[in-house]
Structure 1
Amino acid sequence: MNSKTRKQLLSFAAATGVLFQLGGTAHAVQVFDLGEFVVHAPARVAVEEVAATPASVEGAYAGGQVANSNLMGVLGRQSFIETPVNVTGYTSELMENKQASNISDVVANDASVKEHSLSGASSAWTIRGFRTTQQDMQFNGLFGIAPRFYTGTEGYERVEVAKGPTALLSGVAPNGGNIGGSINFVPKRAKDTPINRVKLSYGNGSQFTQHIDVGHRFGENNKYGVRVNVLNRNGETSVDSEKNNVSSVVIGADMRGKKHRIGLDLGYVYNEIENPQYRVNFGATADNGESRKLFAGAKYTKENPYTVFEPNKNAKFGADNTWRRVTEKYGVLSGEYDLSKDWTAYAGVGMRYTSMDYYYNEFVVNNIKTGAATIGYKYNNQINKGLSIEAGVRGKIVNRGVTHNIGIAASRISYERYMGNRTFKNTFAGNVFTQTADSTWSHPDGYRGWESPLNDKNVTLGLSISDRIVTSDEAWQVILGGRIQKIKQTSYLTQTNFPKDANTTWNGSKVDSIYDKAAFSPSVGLVHKLNKHASLYANYMEGLQAGEIVSDGNSTNVLAPYKSKQIEFGTKVDFGNWSSSLSFYDIKNPYTKAQNKGSYDAEIRNRGIEWNIFGEPTKGTRILGGIMYLDAKIKSDSRTGASNVEGNRYAGAPKWNAVLGIEQDIKGVKGLTVTSRVKYVGEAYANEANTLRTPGFVTWDLGARYTWNSGNTPMTLRADVYNVLDKTYWNALDRNAVYLSGGRTFMLSLTASL
């Protein structure tokens, strides 16, 4: 399908006709042409008056940007002021108005979340300083079902960000990525009012996007609903020669009965990224030839770190003719049944099938004086299958005026990863100071056939019990609960049966380790409502992750599942049209760096303060933002010599993060709104030794939208300029790596509600 000659429009008929199959591989490129379509808008008796912002957004707080309540796992749906944790649910209204095409665009509004992506094809973030990835997102409360690599937002009604370890509330993330918090995607549902939207967008480089969103309810009392989103995107991103092509279909169906609610969600995504930008690694001997290693520290120390140079905004550290091709297919069937007026049983089952074909490079700086670097290549074929099941019951018992809200939930999450991950031995020369997209980089010799042997299996079983105790005057709430989690993993590590190739090293399919461990994690929460507008809260929460596999080269040892522990307290205030919260937290998390030891040899302690604000303090003025101060340290380290980094700051975690967004309706021009957002990220270290530093940076966004009626059709034109000052900056990661970000981009879109 030639993007230069075809006419790309979207069709509701094409969406409902997609065959949903949980099978297939990504090494054969899969595309579908949506062809042409004609939409006939029903005639209207009268033209509705269009305001700059709807008077209210369903389920949203004043201003429409943040949800009134959020899904808190075993506790059910909880309002903002009555929840003993810091959580923010970003609405689809916010996503539309910010023109958020992916999750990074959404969480950019949260000061507790920092971008931590490794490349233009691999998204990751930190929450309260701890790393999480798309692989550990939840889909309507279920782990392991959301697309594993694709981060688009077109199928989501809300994106909920809960801060802190949440083992009791949400269980264990398959890849251990919910130490600092978790992100949950709430799928779109049909509303009582029909939805027929067509949106055309252009920007973020030269990408052209077509998106149709259709939702209808029918039957007696609107019992049945169907919501369909179809999106097609292609073109170059703001990074030189990088291209992003997406075709996705998301279907959400539901049925509402007197005692039961049933939902069915289906999704299909094909995403191809060509020539992705990649991180820059600084090698251990990149010290201008000094006798001691840079990060061990003769020339550069914690007191005198190497500050990464001012970047060239046109630099390109991803090689030409590389790619990542991903196919994601997923489905979830969920429902709940009212056993009585006080008790409800619920269950959900979901499956996901992901296939990936990933050919990429690594850019490693070997000399920081000359900029000399080495470019090496890797190739990864992967098939990943996920299955998630959850069942539980929620209800209440009233005894002498005290209400016990009981929650019991059991879950099972499993995934299998079939992967052929290989490294090509020959490398090529580059330079970190002068590098742009370089056609002289050549493809290395090596075997590139599709290979995906079984790499690992992971099964987690969990049972959680909670009691939310509420006094008769509702002034006090006490939450008591715990979760027992059993984790079993089988790893296949040492290659034995791949085709022999002298230019390639392999991982592969020999059983190397098996473990089967269980652990219990308790949680306590407290909420005291001073009045209907203000509350104090505190919690002790634990997270739980699978134990690490450590090796001395001859044998392996699997450590016990490890716990992250958080103490948090704070206050929340609701002024009616705007709200604010202030949180203080301390999280401790064990980890190991010495691979020949049989126990965890270090501990990370992240301690911080968060202030958040959102709402519409005056009519037509909306605010959203916050500040986080984070003291992230390696608190203890039992290693000896230069390896000991006790007292150093945790890599990739700046002390300060801040963001503030403002929207203002222009009273003199009906339907016009102007927007602005300022974001600050402080300086950070990219390694444990604290000898590699990135400076802080500020970005500024400006935008406007205009809503009007064209005949009988409401229209919205949105225009945004991101990073107005054209700031280019390095984003600190970890393990001696940084990622080049920034540069001015824009986005223009037109939405018609037919």
Structure 2
Amino acid sequence: MNSKTRKQLLSFAAATGVLFQLGGTAHAVQVFDLGEFVVHAPARAAVEEVTATPSVEGAYAGGQVSQSSLMGVLGNQSFIDTPFNVTGYTNELMENKQASNVIDIVANDASVKDQSLSGASSAWSIRGFRTTQQDTQFNGLYNISPRFYTGTESIERVDVIKGPAALLGGMPPNGTIGGTINFVPKRATDKDITKVKLSYGNGSQFTQHVDVGHRFGDNNKYGVRVNVLNRNGETSNDNEKNNASTVAIGADMRGEKVRAAIDLGYVYNEIENPQYRITFGNKFLASTKQEVFTAKNADHHKKYGADGTYRRVTEKYGVISGEYDFNKNWTAYAGFGMRYTSMDYLYNEFQVNDINGKSNLRYRYNNQINKSTSVEVGVKGKITTGDVNHNIGVAFARSEYKRYMANRSLNNVAANFYVQTTNWGAPQGDLNWYTHLNDTSIQTGVSITDRITTKDESWQFIVGGRLQKIKTQNFPRLSKAFNGADTYASYDKTAFSPAVGIVHKFNDKTSVYANYMEGLQADTVTNASAVNFGEAVEPYKAKQYEVGTKFDFGKYTATVSAFNIKTPALSYVTVTPVNKLDRYYSLSTEIRNRGLEFNVFGEPTKGTRVLGGIMLLDSRYTKDNADSNAKGHRVEGTSKVNAVVGLEQDVKAVQGLTFTTRLNYTGPAFANQDNTIRVPGYFTWDLGARYTWNSGHVPMTVRADVYNVLNKDYWNALNGSVYQGNGRTAMVSVTAGF
């Protein structure tokens, strides 16, 4: 997208502030000249007193966490009434933390760990299980939110449900089992919204964001919310650039019996020269057999990637949803969405081959078109029998995607881990665009739930199950150069996932809960050296047992939970003993993640807010085979301790001034299944401040944050690889608007 188009999009968003007035009475117009564009905002007769912590509808004390979250087929549930560990992060938190993507938001949760491979590949783990943007939900629907872009400028709330949850929303497209992240889109509020935000930082990125919303009609029946964002500049990684242009429109109608909404979105995101992960070759792994190798000297000024690489993504998505009340007890609902994604991706893999740093850089090229649809219809209602209420829910869901992809290996270039260079030479190989069908996936599910409550709601029982059908087809690759199966591979299986939950409230402030939940996974062998490379693996289950307690002290809340999750896992079996690279991958191992979580959030005293927690995790292989010898080993990329604590303090002497700080700790972890490559643990420290005031009739907020204040160098561990953490970065922004 060129600069002219970006300016047109920003002008469109600015004009929307005037167009929205067609639904109401005429207003005087104020003009804010920002150089690149002009924003029109309705004038106000009076401006409310500015406070450092404006109230958020539906938010808990402090405004950072919501009172309720969307729990799939169970609907919106209060956090203290649910038999799960769930946190809903508000848009106020996103703004005050200057979060530009989902990673910045979930960084406030100790159970969620950043595992992004590069600036072009965002990922994270929940309770030790890795997931990506591709397994997020958009208002409860899978396969709709952008597949690769992780920006949150159009999101009102991010709900994080920890643990397997097949009952609530079905199986994610890529089989995530550690937890579910759901995006709740922004809606127009009864109070008009007109905001302009300019920010600079995280390297030298300049971002312009316009957010306008208006309701009109009788009783504010109709609403429209528009968000437009433009970002360009270099990131904190050397020579990496990230340019993005997005538009999101959310319109809704609120009637007495009918509620409906439509969401439309467009994304263009181009990343140049992305930083990438470091993998380890077989010779390097063999050299670590006798003693553990500890990765050191993580210099964030170094770059293990070639210039001239890029990822260009275009995403378009839309959702239509609605509800109809038959009467006060029964409601029908439905949602239908579509997404189209196009990706052009030239990247590299950096592999260290021996202890002296001898390495090679391999270019890869992946072009992809991804098309998906998702639909959910259901009915929910209440039946009273004797002294208990039955809250019944029946839902049908279907999600499908088709991936037209050609992912291929190009040339290798000699490299050295200890010697930096920018002269890698040009990629050589097939750089043509191919659109053959690579794989398809159709997931169909029917769920039935009964949430049984006593009349005083001191007891709550949830029983239910989901019958899930999974149909996957992998198609033959065009040639040996492509990543795809040599032979046709598919499966068409059905699985039933039961679930049970119980909550007992001693009073309005204290509850205990327990649950048994299952998650469904489907996988494909992605190791190119495997005999069965590209084959689909039949769906398999993860099983979770969890207990916990929640304390709501009115101003702040503390939760404690303990969980145990077991799941089969892919591992290799040597087909030809003489050749260790001749491997067949199957579900021959088992992973058990056992942990204890403590979370706290709220505003214990006026002007002091807290958000954070700690997770103690024991993630191990509990079964193995003769080749993997993994039993008892820690799972790659998992730390025994993860902790984060954030504090905000308003300055009483200066109205509108707030100071913030956040401490993050990640414990040591291993980067390979043999537990012979280790990365040390690390602390990072963030500091920030914001100041809110009225400039005439216009509320203004300036925010400034410094992340990793001490400029800590560190590695993060993944499955068979490591990647560098970010050094010290800063962000400053100014927001004007109502």
TM-score of the aligned structures, taking structure 2 as reference length: 0.93
Equivalent in 432, 438, 444 of residue 417 of structure 2? 432
The separation in 1 between residues aligned to 2:425 and 2:142, in whole angstroms, is 40
**Are the aligned partners of 2:388 and 2:454 in contact in 1 as well (CA < 8 Å)?**
yes
The separation in 1 between residues aligned to 2:113 and 2:165, in whole angstroms, is 19
The separation in 1 between residues aligned to 2:44 and 2:245, in whole angstroms, is 33
Q: Which residue of 1 aligns with 2:427?
A: 444
**Are the aligned partners of 1:204 and 1:746 in contact in 2 as well (CA < 8 Å)?**
yes
1:591 Cα offset (Å): 1.5
The separation in 1 between residues aligned to 2:658 and 2:184, in whole angstroms, is 27
The separation in 2 between residues aligned to 1:65 and 1:556, in whole angstroms, is 43
The separation in 2 between residues aligned to 1:349 and 1:271, in whole angstroms, is 25
**Are the aligned partners of 1:8 and 1:210 in contact in 2 as well (CA < 8 Å)?**
no
Equivalent in 513, 518, 532 of residue 508 of structure 2? 532
Q: Which residue of 2 aligns with 1:105?
A: 104
1:8 Cα offset (Å): 9.5
The separation in 2 between residues aligned to 1:113 and 1:598, in whole angstroms, is 28
The separation in 1 between residues aligned to 2:293 and 2:641, in whole angstroms, is 20
Identity %: 64
**Are the aligned partners of 2:390 and 2:450 in contact in 1 as well (CA < 8 Å)?**
yes
Letter matched to residue 64 of structure 1: G
Q: Which residue of 1 aligns with 2:459?
A: 476
Q: Deviations over 1:441-497 (max 9, x none)?
A: 01132121111211000001100111010012211101000011000011014324x
Q: Which residue of 2 aligns with 1:51?
A: 51
Note if 1:649 corresponds to 2:634. Answer: yes
The separation in 1 between residues aligned to 2:641 and 2:610, in whole angstroms, is 20
**Are the aligned partners of 1:381 and 1:419 in contact in 2 as well (CA < 8 Å)?**
yes
Q: Which residue of 1 aligns with 2:207?
A: 209
The separation in 2 between residues aligned to 1:320 and 1:121, in whole angstroms, is 14
Within 5 Å, give how 1:41-190 maps onto structure 2: 41-54=41-54, 56-177=55-176, 179-190=177-188
Note if 1:515 corresponds to 2:515. Answer: no
Specify the SS of the correspondent of 1:439.
Answer: coil
**Are the aligned partners of 1:206 and 1:238 in contact in 2 as well (CA < 8 Å)?**
yes
Specify the SS of the correspondent of 2:168.
Answer: helix
Q: Deviations over 1:218-250 (max 9, x none)?
A: 011000000000000000000110000000000
Specify the SS of the correspondent of 1:728.
Answer: coil
Q: Which residue of 1 aligns with 2:250?
A: 252
**Are the aligned partners of 1:10 and 1:35 in contact in 2 as well (CA < 8 Å)?**
no
The separation in 2 between residues aligned to 1:467 and 1:557, in whole angstroms, is 38
Within 5 Å, give how 1:133-532 maps onto structure 2: 133-177=132-176, 179-286=177-284, 293-294=286-287, 297=289, 299-300=290-291, 305-368=292-355, 370-424=356-410, 426-435=411-420, 438-496=421-479, 505-507=481-483, 512-532=488-508
1:52 Cα offset (Å): 1.2
Q: Which residue of 1 aligns with 2:616?
A: 629
The separation in 2 between residues aligned to 1:620 and 1:614, in whole angstroms, is 13
Q: Which residue of 1 aligns with 2:521?
A: 545
The separation in 2 between residues aligned to 1:383 and 1:12, in whole angstroms, is 28
Q: Which residue of 1 aligns with 2:646?
A: 661
Q: Which runs of 5+ in 1 are unaligned?
A: 18-33, 288-292, 497-503
Query: Structure 1's 446 and 35: CA in aligned 2 closer, same or farther, altered over 3 A?
Result: farther
**Are the aligned partners of 1:453 and 1:508 in contact in 2 as well (CA < 8 Å)?**
no
Equivalent in 657, 661, 681 of residue 672 of structure 1? 657
1:111 Cα offset (Å): 0.2
Q: Which residue of 1 aligns with 2:729?
A: 745
The separation in 2 between residues aligned to 1:651 and 1:506, in whole angstroms, is 28
Query: Structure 1's 45 and 549: CA in aligned 2 closer, same or farther, altered over 3 A?
Result: closer
Moved more, 586-595 or 653-662: 586-595
1:286 Cα offset (Å): 1.6
The separation in 1 between residues aligned to 2:673 and 2:651, in whole angstroms, is 49
**Are the aligned partners of 1:294 and 1:691 in contact in 2 as well (CA < 8 Å)?**
no
Q: Which runs of 5+ in 2 are unaligned?
A: 18-33, 576-583
The separation in 2 between residues aligned to 1:156 and 1:13, in whole angstroms, is 17
Q: Deviations over 1:476-533 (max 9, x none)?
A: 101000011000011014324xxxxxxx822358761121000001000000001110
Q: Which residue of 2 aligns with 1:571?
A: 549
Letter matched to residue 722 of structure 1: Y
The separation in 1 between residues aligned to 2:380 and 2:487, in whole angstroms, is 41
Q: Deviations over 1:409-449 (max 9, x none)?
A: 1100000000011101x3112221232xx331011321211
1:44 Cα offset (Å): 2.9
Specify the SS of the correspondent of 2:327.
Answer: coil
Letter matched to residue 565 of structure 2: I
Query: Structure 1's 252 and 511: CA in aligned 2 closer, same or farther, altered over 3 A?
Result: farther
The separation in 1 between residues aligned to 2:315 and 2:16, in whole angstroms, is 17
Letter matched to residue 205 of structure 2: Q
Query: Structure 1's 16 and 359: CA in aligned 2 closer, same or farther, altered over 3 A?
Result: farther
The separation in 1 between residues aligned to 2:536 and 2:483, in whole angstroms, is 19
**Are the aligned partners of 2:608 and 2:650 in contact in 1 as well (CA < 8 Å)?**
yes
The separation in 2 between residues aligned to 1:623 and 1:570, in whole angstroms, is 21
Specify the SS of the correspondent of 2:93.
Answer: helix
Letter matched to residue 746 of structure 1: A
Query: Structure 1's 559 and 467: CA in aligned 2 closer, same or farther, altered over 3 A?
Result: same
The separation in 1 between residues aligned to 2:209 and 2:273, in whole angstroms, is 25
Letter matched to residue 726 of structure 2: G
Equivalent in 598, 601, 610 of residue 611 of structure 1? 598
Q: Which residue of 1 aligns with 2:678?
A: 693
Q: How many residues align?
A: 711
**Are the aligned partners of 2:657 and 2:690 in contact in 1 as well (CA < 8 Å)?**
yes
Specify the SS of the correspondent of 1:39.
Answer: strand
1:40 Cα offset (Å): 3.6
Q: Which residue of 2 aligns with 1:713?
A: 698
Specify the SS of the correspondent of 2:44.
Answer: coil
Specify the SS of the correspondent of 1:648.
Answer: coil
The separation in 2 between residues aligned to 1:120 and 1:35, in whole angstroms, is 30
Letter matched to residue 359 of structure 2: A
Moved more, 595-604 or 442-451: 595-604
Query: Structure 1's 740 and 13: CA in aligned 2 closer, same or farther, altered over 3 A?
Result: closer
**Are the aligned partners of 2:472 and 2:536 in contact in 1 as well (CA < 8 Å)?**
no
Q: Deviations over 1:584-603 (max 9, x none)?
A: 00000101212666962110
Specify the SS of the correspondent of 1:64.
Answer: coil
Equivalent in 560, 578, 593 of residue 582 of structure 1? 560
1:294 Cα offset (Å): 3.1
The separation in 1 between residues aligned to 2:549 and 2:173, in whole angstroms, is 32
1:105 Cα offset (Å): 0.3
The separation in 1 between residues aligned to 2:588 and 2:181, in whole angstroms, is 29
1:15 Cα offset (Å): 8.2
Query: Structure 1's 380 and 15: CA in aligned 2 closer, same or farther, altered over 3 A?
Result: farther
**Are the aligned partners of 2:485 and 2:534 in contact in 1 as well (CA < 8 Å)?**
no
Q: Which runs of 4+ in 1 moved over 4 A?
A: 1-9, 13-17, 508-511, 547-552, 554-559, 595-599
TM-score of the aligned structures, taking structure 1 as reference length: 0.91
The separation in 2 between residues aligned to 1:598 and 1:423, in whole angstroms, is 21
The separation in 2 between residues aligned to 1:58 and 1:709, in whole angstroms, is 22
